[in-house]
Amino acid sequence: MIISASRRTDIPAFYSQWFFNRIKEGYVLVPNPYHPKMISKVSLSPAVVDCFVFWTKNPAPMLNQLEKLQDYNYYFQFTLNPYGEKLENHLPSIDKRMDTFKKLADKIGRERVIWRYDPILTNEEYNVSFHQEAFARIADGLKDHTAKCMLGFIDHYQHIRNSVRLFNIHPLTQEEIEEMAVSFKKTIDVYPDIQLDTCTVKVDLRHLGIPSGLCIDKDLIEKIIGYPILAQKDKNQRNICNCIESIDIGTYESCLNGCIYCYAIKGNYNTAVYNRRKHDKNSPLLIGHLSEDDIVKEREMKSLRDNQYSLF
């Protein structure tokens, strides 16, 4: 199985010690986001975990513990945005995060660190010219440290509209999208070892030579793990998402990065701070502990390995 860690929160940045404790214990408990009393027990045995996909904006806390993953295959979706403290209140500077990106790629290989330029949003300050210049600067800095860049465009979810409106951030126009995309493609074409894709099919840029990609990517996973897998499209994601199936072990309302556009915090930042106080690195749950009325069911887990074929 593929384990996503996590679309719901930044585990590498804030919960890495908990994660490594779960690796040691061999399982994790994951509440159903819609029915939190219904809890799945998910095995983390190397025998059933084909690959971990980490999602993060700052994996620095994990860098010196990666040897604990020696029995696993994995790669990182690493978001590098240029907005700074105004929109991403609790992140290290872009330069520090670029340095972390390079260190991570040097440790595990450029193919296993995907650069996400996501979400792309605009206002008077973060206009098209801003993105053209910022993207070119980051791309030049990462040219030897990644093999793929994923472009993502802001979704105006209902629960973030008030927050983004305070910064005069409105839905992107097609003209803005295409002007930026042309510039991004021109920049990346200078670095032939970097593939440029979009995240989801929501914004179709194929006519500009930018394919619609996958974040949880079957081809990349097979290349990393060294054997073919039998995997379906993830039915739990939006229809516009191309990703293959995975199990997410994160919990919503627990990320402390403080991004004003965050889809994973439907309350506000104080909710995440409150939940963080309930975190125990030794608990099988990311947030809090089991209660007497919780219902725990073991999730059926198996490798996706296709034993009929071999890549080698």
> Residues 12-27: pLDDT tens digits?
999 999 999 999 999 9
Percent of the chain whose pLDDT exceeds 90: 90
CA-nearest of 114, 117, 19, 118 to 76 is 114
Query: Cα(149)–Cα(140) distance, rounded to whole angstroms?
Result: 12
> Residues 6-65: pLDDT tens digits?
999 999 999 999 999 999 999 999 999 999 999 999 999 999 999 999 999 999 999 999
CA-nearest of 84, 108, 113 to 96 is 84
Q: Is 65 in contact with 16 (CB distance < 8 Å)?
A: yes
Task: Please confirm whether the linkage preceding 36 is cis (ω < 30° from 0).
Answer: no
The pLDDT, as a whole number, for residue 267 is 77
> Residues 158-177: pLDDT tens digits?
999 999 999 999 999 999 99
The residue written with tokens 């920049």 in the block is 187
Angstrom distances, CA of residue 22 to CA of 5, 16, 208, 282, 304: 12, 10, 44, 8, 21
The pLDDT, as a whole number, for residue 144 is 97
Q: pTM (2 decimals)? A: 0.95
Listing from the earlier edge strand, what are the strands of the sheet with 212-213? 212-213, 195-199, 148-153, 113-120, 74-79, 51-56, 2-5, 247-248
> Residues 109-148: pLDDT tens digits?
999 999 999 999 999 999 999 999 999 999 999 999 999 9
The pLDDT, as a whole number, for residue 234 is 85
The pLDDT, as a whole number, for residue 312 is 42
Query: Cα(175)–Cα(163) distance, rounded to whole angstroms?
Result: 24
The pLDDT, as a whole number, for residue 308 is 58
Query: Cα(35)–Cα(91) distance, rounded to whole angstroms?
Result: 31
Query: pLDDT confidence of 225, banded at 50, 70, 90?
Result: very high
Average pLDDT over residues 187-202: 94
Query: Cα(144)–Cα(156) distance, rounded to whole angstroms?
Result: 33
